[in-house]
Amino acid sequence: MTFEELREKAHGLPMLPGVYIMMDKSGQVIYVGKAKLLKNRVSSYFRENGHNVKTAAMVSHIDHFDVIMVNSEFEALVTENQLIKHHKPKYNILLKDDKGYPFLRVTVREEYPSFSVVGRVQNDGARYFGPFGGRGTLHEAIDAVCKALKLPTCSRKFPAEIGKGRPCLNYHMGLCAGYCRGEPDAEAFRATVNEAMLIFDGKTEELCRSLSDQMEAEAEALRFENAAELRDRLRAVQGLERKQLVQNAARADTDVIGFARGTAKSCFVVLHFIGGTLLDKDYELLELPMEEDAEVLSQLIRQYYAIRGLCPKNVLLPMELPDREELERFLAASFVAAPTLFVPQRGEKRKLVETANINAREECERATDREERVAKTLEWLQRSLGLEKPPLRMESYDISNTQGADMVGSMVVFENARPLKRAYRRFKIKTLEGQDDYHSMQEVLTRRFTRYLEGDEKFSPLPDLLLVDGGSVHAAMAVETAQSMGISVPIFGMVKDDRHRTRALAAPDGREIGISGNTAVFSLIGRIQEETHRFAITYPLRAGGDPRSGGEAAAGADEGIQDRKGHP
């Protein structure tokens, strides 16, 4: 449709609430929005001028649009949320849904309960605590609690392996009670796990009172050895509380939202509080949105709590939202406890909101500085390597082997000078026996380009710059491989110095472009080279190929912190 046809269609829409869906020439959904009055809102996109840069870019790609009329603003909000979640449109503001907020799962129905780290809560009879800020944080908390309460952290299975073998070093160091010996028994084990759950439930004070009462009772009964053990446990638990190792954002009774729009990025911040005490800070940097701040916040709040899987009783907002009542209904329908959203105007709560906004502004400023540095670095690479555009997406390849066996190729992706770990891939070499880095690299690139030509989204798009481990000979081989498959992409080799650092980029024609004179470029290429090598050499130790994908195994769980076996 032409611009005039789009404008005419928009003017013909009814003055009713609904959702509009913008699509490009290929039929791809590029934007989804809601409106109280469809005609007014959709028509505003087809004015001659007055749009910001991002809105103008979106409008220039609109080929046609559809609308869905609904009965109320609340229905429009729900429908918009579902469509955004399904289509993930390019021009909508989107939180990353792969961040992952881990939960602690405790199998309370087992004779010997166990701890595990999971990504979501299920209705399976287990107890869940969380979400926590990250798997590393949660594993540290589990270790700290287990050591404080002398619960096992080894890989032994209970009760199957009780009495099999001698206790491990943790028992002899006084870090574990030695349940593998059969004593203390299962009842004592469950009682200790219950104490651990009190800690993770934020009831440390209750546990401390209980331990103190037990200690005094044992002392009065002249059982001084038992009293001393309880004293040591009490001190360990109090130490956990002082160090705040088991802070849990799920305990928050109030979330404070902050938002700032910088020159290069915008930032969404959530501060988690309980009883006025700050527990945790969560934030995400985003591309500059084309909507007004209040509309952006509404979308972000919906996405954020859907990803987290829970919402506190109170949410303090930095500004009034046009759909606040509908948003409250939406959150109430999504979670057991209905949250209250409000904008504090004065007092301590207003100061909390200002603090959240300050945090958002500072993150924006840091991001803007970094964006400027990255832009200059990529511009230098474009100019020095003769590229058509700055290399926003770079791919790097390396080959690893263990004494000539287990040959593996790694593909590492950097986007905007940052590792894009979900795009990492590994290739188990299939056609060669023995060490042959040259032909192994040829096989890896052939398989990578084949996946792209077959339309595999995991191998799309092609990079703006492709780097291979080696000099001009390896770069020339890579170019020849790409050209034989009809692929055109800039390719350079990474030439190392005697300290195994990339000192230059080698062109296929033998030219070398030195990078050691530019600190930012030298640092970036060095990080890429080190990350590619690290990702390659860890494969033989931690993986065995992925037969389901023909050997092209995604980074996935390899890049996350693994759930460790043996925690109770």
Check which CATH number belongs to the domain holding 25 and give it.
Answer: 3.40.1440.10
Q: Could you tell me if 76 and 123 lie in one domain?
A: no
Is the torsion defined by CA of 94, 98, 102, 107 positive or negative?
positive
**Does 566 reside within a domain?**
no
Q: Could you tell me if 237 and 111 lie in one domain?
A: yes
Q: Could you tell me if 323 and 407 lie in one domain?
A: no
Count of C-beta atoms within a 10 Å radius of residue 425: 25
| Alpha carbons 104 and 12: distance in angstroms, whole number | 53
| Alpha carbons 414 and 396: distance in angstroms, whole number | 8
Q: Could you tell me if 443 and 532 lie in one domain?
A: yes
pLDDT of residue 133: 65
Flag residues of the chain having pLDDT under 50: 243, 245, 540-551, 555-567
Q: Could you tell me if 68 and 116 lie in one domain?
A: no
Q: Could you tell me if 538 and 398 lie in one domain?
A: yes
Three-state DSSP class for residue 419: strand
Instruction: Enter the tokens of residue 261.
Output: 């729009």
Q: Could you tell me if 417 and 547 lie in one domain?
A: yes
φ/ψ of residue 340, rounded to 5 = -110, 125
**Does 98 reside within a domain?**
no
φ/ψ of residue 131, rounded to 5 = -80, 160
Residue-by-residue DSSP string for 484-498: HTT----EEEEEE-T
Which residue, 208, 243, 278, sits at the end of a domain? Answer: 243
User: pLDDT tens for residues 178-219?
Assistant: 889 888 888 889 888 988 888 777 777 777 888 788 888 878
Which residue, 17, 52, 87, sits at the end of a domain? Answer: 87
Q: Could you tell me if 181 and 261 lie in one domain?
A: no
Judge whether 138 and 117 are in contact, CB under 8 Å: yes
Task: Kindly state the helix (H) or strand (E) to which residue 251 belongs, with its residue range.
Answer: none
pLDDT of residue 177: 85
Strands 405-415 and 418-419: what pairing? antiparallel
The structure tokens 């191998």 sit at 459
Q: What is the pTM of this model?
A: 0.60
Q: Could you tell me if 160 and 219 lie in one domain?
A: yes
**Does 386 reside within a domain?**
no
| Alpha carbons 530 and 466: distance in angstroms, whole number | 15
Q: Could you tell me if 108 and 215 lie in one domain?
A: yes
**Does 94 reside within a domain?**
no
Three-state DSSP class for residue 462: coil
Kindly tell me the burial class for residue 263, based on how many C-beta atoms sit within 10 Å of its own C-beta (0-12, 13-18, 19 or more): exposed
User: pLDDT tens for residues 59-117?
Assistant: 989 999 999 999 999 999 999 999 998 999 989 988 876 566 788 899 988 889 888 88
- CATH (domain of 359): 3.30.420.10
Q: Could you tell me if 49 and 119 lie in one domain?
A: no
> How many residues comprise the chain?
568
pLDDT of residue 544: 41
pLDDT of residue 144: 78
Q: Could you tell me if 345 and 400 lie in one domain?
A: no
- CATH (domain of 400): 3.30.420.340
pLDDT of residue 568: 53
**Does 69 reside within a domain?**
yes
Q: Which residues contact 162 (CB under 8 A, 6 or more apart)?
A: 179, 180, 181, 182
pLDDT of residue 448: 94
**Does 514 reside within a domain?**
yes
Please give the residue range of the domain that contains residue 232.
Answer: 103-243
Three-state DSSP class for residue 226: helix
pLDDT of residue 405: 57
Judge whether 199 and 145 are in contact, CB under 8 Å: yes
Which residue, 87, 111, 128, sits at the end of a domain? Answer: 87
Please give the tally of structural domains in the chain. Answer: 4
pLDDT of residue 391: 95
| Alpha carbons 123 and 16: distance in angstroms, whole number | 40
Number of H helices, E strands in the chain: 17, 20
Residue-by-residue DSSP string for 94-143: ---TTS---EEEE-TTSSS--EEEESS--SSS-EEE---S-HHHHHHHHH
**Does 165 reside within a domain?**
yes
**Does 164 reside within a domain?**
yes
